[in-house]
Each structure stands twice: as C-alpha cells, then as structure tokens.
Structure 1
C-alpha cells in the first residue's frame, strides 16, 4: 500500500518531468533550435574509452548514433538514389557506401569497379534496390552537378508531390557535396580563395534557407521509408595529416589555407549548421590509425564513420518513428503512443475523482474506494514518468562505459553506508496474521527472518543497480557475482513462499492472485505502455514461473507435505518435469504463444528459456531448506538454526567448525570460478549446479551468532522491501533505451 512519502515522490517526479519538458522547449525555441538533436550529431562528439578489445566508438554529444546494417539501409534507401559529388575524398565516402549497402554477393562487383574505373571518372553502383552514384567534380562546377541540384527537393516525394511536378527525375534522397578546398589549395595558387568562393557560391542557391523548417515538419510526420525527408550536405574542407603530406602537396595545402576556406564556409551559413557536417573536422585523429599513408585521404574506417553520420541524419527519423526499440536518438522523433495517452487520461480522471469526492466517500464509509483510487493514481503516475523518461527524447540518453575503479568505488560506498545504518532488528511476525497461522506447526520466524531477507535483497539490489548503471556486465568477474545475486533472490523467494505455505496451509486463490499481481503488475503494464516485451523485465516472469511451480507442487497432494520423505519425492518429480518443460523445444513456445494470443503480451522464448535454465535448481534448494526448517520447528518446538545460544541445537564448537566450512567453501568457490572459468558460456553451464554453495554459506554465517541475528542493516532493509519494483523501474527511470543507456538532462555540460 503506497504511503504518503511514495505519493509525494511520484508527484515530485511528475513535476520534474513537466519542468524539464517546459525548459527543454523554451531552450529549443529561444536558444539553439535542435529539438531532434540533429545539429549535435553534425557538430560535436567524442571518442568513447577504449573497450577491452582495443576498439572505440564515436559518440555524438547528447545523443546516440547507431551503426546501420545493410538490411536496415536497404529499407531506408528503398528504390531511392544517393549521389556523391566531389574529389577523391568524396569518392572514399562512395566506396564506403557500396560496402555498407552491399551484401557479400556484391563484394566481387565492388572489386571489379575499383579495378575498371579510372581515377577521374563517374561511377554508378546498384545493390538490389539501392542506387549509388559518384560524380567526379572536384571544382563543383559541372553541368551534371547542377542537374542533380535542380532535381533536389528537401521533402520526399510522398510529402510534397506538387513541388516536384515537371521534374525529369525524382529528387535524390541524399546528396553529399565535397567542398573544393583541397583542389583550390593545391592548384589555385594565390587565387585559391576566389576559386573556392566561386564554387561555393554556385551551389548556395540550391540550398534552401527553409530546409531546417521543412525537415523539422517532415520529421514530425515521418512514419515510413517513403516519408523520409531528403538531405543534402556540403562537407567542410578536410583537414589532412600535414606531417605525412608529400613535399609538393605540403607547400600549397597548408593549415592557413584550409582554415581560411572553412572560415568562409562558416560565414556563408552563419545561422544554419544543418548543411555542413562540421563534425568531420572535429573528430580527433591519429596519423597511423585514421589516415592513409599519403596523409590526404582518411582511412577506410574513418570514411565509414563519416558516412554513418550522414546515414544517421537521413534514416533515424523514420526508424525512431516506427519503433520505440530503435536505439538511435540523433535526428530522432518520439513515436506515437496511445497507451501512454490513455494512462494520462486515467491519471487525470483518478486525481480529479479523489480531489472532488474524497470527503463525501469517507463520510459515507467508502474509504476503500478512495484508497483504491489513490493506489491507482500512484501506479499511473509511475507509468507516466517511465514513459516520459524513456519513451520520449526529452531526456538525454548517454552511452555507458565500464570503468572498474568507479564501479568498485560505488559498490564500496554502498556497502559502507549500509553497514553504518545497522540497528537493532525490530520484532516482527513475518507478515502472517494469527488467523492464517497453523498453531500446530508455527514456532516463530526462525532462520532467515523477514528482516534478514529484505536486508539481503536490498544489499544485492543496490549493487545490481550500480552494475547496470556502470555497464559492469563487460567484466566477467562481476557478471559471475551478479549471477549469484539473482540466484540468491530466487533462493529467498522459494524459501519464503514454501515456509509460508507449510506453516499456514493457505492455498487459497486470493493468495495466489495477490502474489501474481504483486510480481507482475508493473512488468505487464510497462510492456503495454512502453511497447516492450514481457521478458524485457525478465526477473518478474522468472520469479512468477518458479512461484507457480512450487505452489503447484505443494498444492497437489498437500497432505503429503507433512511427511518429509514424500515431500522430497514430490520435489524430485517436479525438478524432472520442470527440466522437461524448460529444455524441451516446443513446450515453452506453445505456452508463450497462448499467453500472447490471450493477453497480447510479447515474450522472447529463447530469452525466457535461457533465464530459466540458468537457475533451474536454486529455487528447489530454497524449498528443501524451508521444509527442513519447518520440520525442525515442529519437532523441537524452537527456532531452527539459532546458533550461538547456550543450549541451542548446535554446540559452540560445532558452530565454529560450521563457520569455518562456510568460509572455506565460499573462498574455494570464488577461487575456482574466477580463476578457471574464463568464458561466460562455460560459467553459465556450471552455474545451476554450484550457485547454492556461496548462498547457503552466507546465510548460515549471517545467522551464526545472536549479535548478528539481533541487528539488521536499515537502508538495505528499506530497499529490499521494493527490490522487485526498483529492478523493473530501473529500465526506464535509472537507465534509458531499455537499460542500454544512462539518462540525464544535460544542462550542466555547457549546452
């Protein structure tokens, strides 16, 4: 039941969302007009830190660029033409384009073209439905160039048919012009600047001053490949690697001349940055990696990057409008979401209902209606905030990078703060009312009390949140630990549910529906509102599956639950049946298909099978321990595993030896897994069989002394109460892009 603090938190989040939305729009209207973050793609960025394999990625400032596959580009450039016009540096972009759109069967044709065409010739290449053309025109003064520019129109055919009636051919979808700076500097002598100005002046009339407005309008209406607005770019004068230029080139191609010509370009287009991708000259380069040996031409990888920037500007609007799962946020538009609109209307209705009818309903004794409406309002507020944060592009999604020192430091801070929050554990009843307890069997909360389980779940959840935020999945040693945390949660869940059912014998339908609703309401509603798959929040379906398994196992022939031997037999049979269900092809597909047909919820079958297979035994370990605990509580009429007390079940000497065994087992486990299992696949195969070792060892140690049992860590305890909710909501609040990026506003970075 949400309390006042949770209500205030939700309303505060909505207020922040509204404030951010307002300031973003004011900033876009009266400041730099870049609502779709196209200008940032074309003007600014940085290299990512080196990955473990030595690779790096170019990351535009405040948005995410994607690397388009050949199939994606064929869908974007469907039956349209891309034209490259300029010198040999532009020809490099043309060759990069042929490699990106060509499938393997076309590689031979590309090599043949390279061998058959001269240096100063036009080239044409077609791959399936994509037409690529290169026009050799280093001075930008040919008749062919002007014919292409005359046929160019800012909007695509389907958006403005009347504007191109009478043209001999349809407008090219993308035109990339190369500013003739290198040729002017090399062959223009002292008159290089006038020659350069003359060439630029010849193409300026074809660059409509209202292009930005047209594209902004088109982006808002983009729904398919035929609606993609056409783009035209004039590349800046490239900055060569001066140290490797040949002597005859270095005398004329000087930094002063290159800078002068680029300064002129910036003066020609002082208020319009969308024609010139200045970022081409702002990409930090290294001589050996990013240039050919002549120092004039970029390397193949650098040419591919420059082309990919242009393709992101061209293709991202339609891709982002069609699918919310599209990861690119540069030149992106928010896709329509009618489910979010419905949630917004319901939120307003429920808020108005509570505000207008609260006093009347409470007076009439209908406080339950008010309470339900309050709960509904808070749930809807949470869904709205998720949609705003991750379903729109108002917040910035930044790439994540794994930095081990930062991640380890954050985890240590969380652990230290958690330990400092230690306090005496409050007395509790483990959530069981006296009416639900079976007096014949209950003898106290005992081993792994509610305080302890919440504390452990909270400790793990805090590190899991940091794990995702810092992209620590890139480190195998961290991944192994997090896998144990997931297994630990399933162990606690299996133990708690089993102990409850054995103690209360409460197999009522109301109880089942309550648990299923608690586990799934967020993940199900978010899958509708955010248009994601149910398995995107895989922890909820996994916990739900194992709850249904243990419930069915204990429900059928429940009278045999009192006999440990029969219960162990039921567990063995259930293990065999669940293995068949998980591992046999066709069964899981049938069940998930039925769920999709009935509830219209998408489930990734392979993802679900992978997650269930990883932890297919740990829940049964929790069930067995719960059964042993329950049996001991009945027979000895005392709390089970209360180590360290005088007259307790185990003597102090045995407790000490047991603690040594637990510590030794844990150390051995981590030594073996971290030293010898150096591949994720190898660890995943053995994980289901060994995950119980450190989990049981830790819990036994946690209960090994009265001083440890009588205290709990307050902050982890609080987080553990909502660990499932925080795990699910992190996908859209703590992170963005379905947990593939970090969210931030960006006003503190000098925008």
Structure 2
C-alpha cells in the first residue's frame, strides 16, 4: 500500500484529506501518484520480501542444479560417496531419499532368475549374511566361514565367492563368463584388503594388494563390468581400534588402509568403475562395527545392501506418488499440458504482471493489459499458478534436494518451545467485553484453516503442532499421535460449530454460498492433484471438510423454515447423524458412489482410506452442531449472560481440568495408535469441550489472544495443503532441502520462512479467485475500490 500526499482526478486537484471512498463518483477518472512521495507500507514490504526471497531460492536452486550438480543430477555419486546418520538407525545420503526395500519390493525390480554376486573377503561375507536376513527371517549364519555360499529366495539367487585376495581364477570367471543378459548379475559387489594387512604384514602388503588390484581391474574391463546391472567395489574397511585385539591392532595399519582406498578410487575412476565409499562412512560410529572391531555391524550391513538396492531399483520401480525413492532416480517427465502451464506460470504471467505494475506510465496507458479488478484477478491468478509451479519444481524435479524425516524428542521440544514463546510474547489484550468464542479466539484457536470469509476452522497453535508433528515424523509416538488426532477432531468440531451457526443465523442456503465455500476449500488441492499427479483424496483434509460442509448444509436446509422449532431441529440433526453413520458403515453405499465417480471422472480413489477418515471422527462434527445450537438458544434467553455464567464458572473450570487430565491419562495408557483410533470417535469431544470452557471461563482469558498464533491461523488451509510439497517433500514422506543436507537447521529456517510467506500469499489470492469464480460478495460493484488502488491518503507536515 503506497502513501499518497496528493490525489489528482483528471485535471482537478483535491485536498490532501480527500477520502478515496468519495472518489467513486468519478468512474472514468485516473489516479496519478507523485512517486517522489511514496513509501512502502508494512504489508507491501512483507510482500516484496517474500517475492525477493522466493526469487532468490528458485534462481539459486536452478544455478546449483546446473552447476554443482551438473555431473550428478540424480545424486548417484552422492549416494555412493557421502552420507551421514540421522540418529542411530537412518542413513542419509546428501541430497536424496533412500527407501527401505522389502523382499516383495525387490521382486518388482530384479527379474526372475537373476542373481546377486558377492566376491571377496569376510567383509563381503557379512554382506551376504545381511542378504540372508533380509530375504529369510529364519536365516542362520553358516559356521563354515572360509567357503563359498549361496541361497535362493523365490526366483532370486544370492552367491558369495570366498576369495579374500582376489587372485583366484574362479572369481574372475564368475565375473566375466556371462554370455547373455539373463546370465549377468543384477548386483555385483567386490572387496578385499584386510587379509593382505593381516597375513602379509611383513611383506609390504600395500604393494602386493596394489599389484593384485591392477591385474584384477585390467581384466575387468568396463564392458565386462557393465554385464552387471550394478557393479561396485567395497573399500577396505577402517576398523574400530578400541575394539580390536592386540594382534589385529598391530597389523591393521590406518595409514596403509587410507593408501589402499585412495589408490582404489583413482584406479577405478580411470576405468569408470564405482567404489562405494559411503560404506566406510557408515562404519564411523560407535555402533558401526561388530564386537571384533573390524567387521560391520548387522545394522551397517543391512544399510549397505539397502543402499545398493536403491541404486539398482529406484529407476525401475513404477513412477507413481509418493516419490520417496529419489536417489539415483529420475522423475517422470511432465506431460505437454503440465509443460505449457509451467512455462505460462513462470514466464508469461509474471511478465504481464510486471508490465501492468507500472502505474501511470505511458506504456501502461497505451496497451490493452488488464486494469482495476481485472488486474487484481490477473495478479491473483499469477501468484496462485506460480506457487503451483514451484510445488512442481520442488517436489517433481531434482532441482532441490530431499531428506528423510528423522524423529528426535529434543528437536520436538525445541520447536514446540519456540512456538510457545512466540505465542506468549505476542499476546494482546482486548479492552472491550468479549463474548463466548469471540473472533479473536477463532483467529487464534479456530483460525488456522480458513474455510470461508468470516469463520475459520482450525487454530494457529494447533496448526503449528501439526506442522511440527509432520516435519519430525512423530506418528510412531503413540501419545503425540493421539494428541494430534484430537486436534484434527477439533477442526471438524469447529467446522460443525461455525457452519451450523452461520446457517441458523443467516438462513443463507444459496448456491453462491455453497459454491463459495467449496471453491475456497478445494481450489488449491484440486490444482495440486492434477499438477502433481496425485488424486484429490490425497489432500484428505479439504475433501473431509467439504464432505462435512455438504452434510451440515443439507441437514440445516431441509425444512429450514422450521429451524426455530427446537424439537424439529434436534430431531433432524439426530437423524442426519444416524444416516451419515449408517451410509458409511453399510457395505455397498460408498462403493456405488465411488463407482459413479470412477466412471464419470476416471478417479482411482482409495475407498478404504476414505471410510477410515470419516469414521475416525464421525461424531465430532455433530457435537459442534449441537454446541452451536445450544449456545445460540441459551444466548437468546440470556442464560449465558455475564452474571449467569459467573455462577457456574467454578464448576466449569473444575470439569474442564478433569476432562483434560482424563484425556491425557488415557492417551498415555494406549499401547499404540491403533488402540487409540478405536476410541477416538467417542472421546475426542471431551478435551475439546474442556478447552472451550477453560478458554472462556473468565473475561481475562477471553480478552487475551496471540497475534502470532492468529497470524499462522489466517493461512492454515494453505499451510496444511502446501506443506505436502514445499515444506515437506516426496508427498509428505521426506523434507525439502534448499541447501546441503548437512545444514539442517539453516534449511529449516529458510524453508519455513518461504513456506509461511507463500501460504499467506496463496491465502490472499485464493479469496480473490473465489470471488472471481462464483461472483463478488456484494451486489453492487464499486467503480473505484481502495483494493484496486492499493493506496491510502496521508498528511505530510
């Protein structure tokens, strides 16, 4: 918003105190701004900062991709040569995500009758044992250590050739005598080194090892290596010297091991062969070695074979969402419609917006570019599509890195504490009397998922907790999962409360009302579903609240002229609740509805998941409806006046505290989240009502609200949806990384700021696009609107 010291309409100069509203009588007039006296308002400064930050991130990401990652666009070399442990169990390559392969997954990428070939010393033998544990839960390690071994699982065969010096003719023959493609191994791993140090320590072990490797690599030409789909050398392992016995400690010379690995890297690079240097990085932890100090632990061996499977299989598995296998894998190419939309969103629309931004310039006066309300709509469409395009760029290309999620209690406590502190230091007290569930509370508590223009259905602090929950992958922690489930139930409770209140008080059941709410809720997820290749139900919250809105609209609309009759109203609400439950649990009803959608729209929706989502919170929206009706009727009879409420305040506080404590005790007593899910539909309303009573138990609490939580609350529908692709990644399975994955907290700060800024931008423009699609909210359109000008008058002294 620019600050203007003088306003000119045509050739008439008006005083500085002229109201912009009074200018509406001049429909054909043009505002001329003296640019020398303009300043940026806080809102415009915020928008400019977000725009510059967004542009910087995109440009640096693209430059990084085409410069630093030009030789490794799919992170194959990064997977081979680098990585670190997230916690103690999750290996994280730099820039991409590993998936955990099961025997069933392996069968989809390794054809039948193909084999895994392992050649080398006892380090490679541990790799063979890890294959056995993966493929067969009853696998037992053979007591015959210095011998060849093999196993079969289904059509997959795993072979281990014992050759600790890599000098036997049998090993080389197994690698080279592969006549047909069917004979070649799917994965080959070769390794040696420690046996030279252990048993040739007095005869210059490095020279002997070097000569052997030179001869081996010479015979193993690149063409032969390509006869294996994936051919890797394992580097000589670095022992844990604190665990070694004295004999091994004396012979396993660290300097010689480093020389071996350096030479192996140079030699194989000349012959375009690959060394899995990350195998050694995996062992550089306190738990990376077995008790003997030089063999890898079972965890490390399992991680090594999983890394090889990711390198061999990620490119071959079906390319369908979620794309959580990003190491050594290409994303599907965009279809021609997506390509046109990407080019249009990134280049054409922003160019037109830049041109139309030049207010008062000679150029903008001589073109037919959009003006006024059309300009606002055009800009809104541009912002909306650019953010959609960024979602595609972030989560359907390798321009930005991805990282697996990592649960850490310390991180959870830190993030929750920061959010709580920010909320506390932005508390604001209202001076006037505040009623039950006032608007400031709805921005703070109900305000996160904005459903329509005046009422919202979530909360800032609730949304922050859900975002942190998703970011850290805390769903496996049963008490946290139960608490988050209760927060989701709160959204639906407030949805029922808000919609029932609106329909009861306004009696507005018009098509425009229904269309406005549904468009506002679904515009973003529908565009994302098409653009990102997901189905609509994947963004489950928007479909869920849309479903409940339609149910509430239908129940309140049927016989709405009799809604003042309490008995009639309660009866039809009870009937609606029972009908909804029965139609959900009765086999065949939802199946028929989904079949119709499949035939008409060719959808592939997951019926089991949809039924689960509805039944999980089946009664909570109805509780919200009953609370809304009860509150309105009691307020009409002044039963909730200040004096009347004071009489029961003490009892309501006691009941609220008991309700919240009982819920906390119960959720911590549930052994897992599946037990809690069975109880959630019947108990989730208890902490919700308890919180409402406690939050409204006194005027002091009603008058206080948090500006920070309200700030988050005003764009929560957008944060809930956009988090799938531009805060999280891989369709919520991972995290988006703008910078190297080792800079974890820097990534978090920058990505979070960008994510919140873009969510706010989309929240603003979605309202504009909704009005454009379903029509303006007012019957008479103003000829000259302050929103079109973006100006406000101000005196200069």
TM-score normalised per structure 2: 0.76
Distance 1:168 1:469, change over 3 A: closer
Distance 1:453 1:526, change over 3 A: same
Distance 1:626 1:6, change over 3 A: farther
Comparing 491-500 and 332-341, the one that deviates more: 332-341
| Alpha-carbon contact 1:124-1:133 (below 8 Å) kept | yes
Distance 1:743 1:397, change over 3 A: same
| Alpha-carbon contact 1:533-1:604 (below 8 Å) kept | no
1:700 shift after superposition: 2.9
Alignment equivalent of 2:488, drawn from 477, 486, 489: 486
Partner SS, residue 544 of structure 1: helix
Comparing 348-357 and 710-719, the one that deviates more: 348-357
Alignment equivalent of 2:187, drawn from 160, 167, 174: 174
**Distance (whole Å) between structure 2 residues aligned to residue 283 and residue 352 of structure 1:** 49
Distance 1:632 1:181, change over 3 A: closer
Structure 2 counterpart of 1:221: none
Alignment equivalent of 2:648, drawn from 645, 654, 657: 654
Comparing 303-312 and 586-595, the one that deviates more: 586-595
Deviations 1:695-742 (A, max 9, x none): 223223333334444443222223222211111111112211222322
Distance 1:718 1:595, change over 3 A: farther
1:196 shift after superposition: 0.9
Distance 1:345 1:41, change over 3 A: closer
**Distance (whole Å) between structure 2 residues aligned to residue 445 and residue 506 of structure 1:** 26
**Distance (whole Å) between structure 1 residues aligned to residue 609 and residue 324 of structure 2:** 19
Structure 1 segments unaligned to the other structure (5+ residues): 51-55, 153-165, 216-227, 428-443
Root mean square deviation of aligned Cα: 3.7
1:523 shift after superposition: 1.6
Distance 1:7 1:372, change over 3 A: farther
Structure 2 counterpart of 1:134: 160
Partner SS, residue 108 of structure 2: helix
Structure 1 counterpart of 2:334: 337
Deviations 1:204-249 (A, max 9, x none): 33666899xx99xxxxxxxxxxxx9822212112344566667776
**Distance (whole Å) between structure 2 residues aligned to residue 318 and residue 303 of structure 1:** 23
Structure 2 counterpart of 1:307: 305
Distance 1:356 1:297, change over 3 A: closer
Check if 1:94 corresponds to 2:106. no
Alignment equivalent of 1:705, drawn from 698, 703, 709: 698
The 5 Å alignment of 1:52-451 reads 56-79=89-112, 80-100=114-134, 102=135, 122-147=148-173, 149-150=175-176, 171-183=184-196, 185-187=198-200, 189-205=202-218, 230-240=229-239, 252-269=251-268, 275-284=274-283, 290-291=289-290, 297-319=295-317, 322-338=319-335, 340-347=338-345, 348-354=347-353, 367-423=372-428, 447-451=436-440
| Alpha-carbon contact 2:356-2:369 (below 8 Å) kept | no
Deviations 1:94-120 (A, max 9, x none): 3433554x467xx6xx77x958xx755
1:384 shift after superposition: 1.3
**Distance (whole Å) between structure 2 residues aligned to residue 13 and residue 357 of structure 1:** 21
Structure 2 counterpart of 1:434: none
Structure 2 counterpart of 1:497: 499
Distance 1:628 1:353, change over 3 A: same
Comparing 612-621 and 130-139, the one that deviates more: 130-139
Partner SS, residue 326 of structure 1: coil
1:612 shift after superposition: 1.6
Distance 1:468 1:419, change over 3 A: same
Distance 1:272 1:396, change over 3 A: farther
**Distance (whole Å) between structure 2 residues aligned to residue 653 and residue 475 of structure 1:** 41
Structure 2 counterpart of 1:453: 442
**Distance (whole Å) between structure 2 residues aligned to residue 354 and residue 651 of structure 1:** 54
Distance 1:354 1:180, change over 3 A: closer
Distance 1:669 1:325, change over 3 A: closer
**Distance (whole Å) between structure 2 residues aligned to residue 208 and residue 48 of structure 1:** 37
Kindly tell me the number of residue pairs found equivalent between the two proteins. 679
Structure 2 segments unaligned to the other structure (5+ residues): 1-42, 358-363, 446-458, 745-797
Deviations 1:463-516 (A, max 9, x none): 222222233334333223222221222111111111111112111112111111
| Alpha-carbon contact 1:397-1:742 (below 8 Å) kept | yes
1:547 shift after superposition: 0.8
| Alpha-carbon contact 1:65-1:312 (below 8 Å) kept | yes
Check if 1:730 corresponds to 2:735. no
| Alpha-carbon contact 2:310-2:327 (below 8 Å) kept | yes
| Alpha-carbon contact 1:324-1:335 (below 8 Å) kept | no
Alignment equivalent of 2:80, drawn from 30, 33, 42: 42
Deviations 1:446-473 (A, max 9, x none): 5423332121012211222222223333
Partner SS, residue 100 of structure 2: coil
The 5 Å alignment of 1:736-751 reads 736-747=729-740, 749=742
**Distance (whole Å) between structure 2 residues aligned to residue 623 and residue 385 of structure 1:** 39
**Distance (whole Å) between structure 2 residues aligned to residue 447 and residue 697 of structure 1:** 14
1:394 shift after superposition: 2.6
Partner SS, residue 529 of structure 1: helix
Distance 1:186 1:243, change over 3 A: farther
Distance 1:527 1:607, change over 3 A: same
Greater RCO (CA < 8 Å, at least 6 residues apart) = 2
TM-score normalised per structure 1: 0.80
1:620 shift after superposition: 0.8
The 5 Å alignment of 1:459-470 reads 459-470=461-472
1:380 shift after superposition: 0.8
Structure 1 counterpart of 2:69: 28
The 5 Å alignment of 1:8-27 reads 9=50, 12-27=53-68
**Distance (whole Å) between structure 2 residues aligned to residue 668 and residue 629 of structure 1:** 25
Partner SS, residue 563 of structure 2: helix
Distance 1:296 1:489, change over 3 A: closer
Partner SS, residue 164 of structure 2: coil
**Distance (whole Å) between structure 1 residues aligned to residue 695 and residue 441 of structure 2:** 8
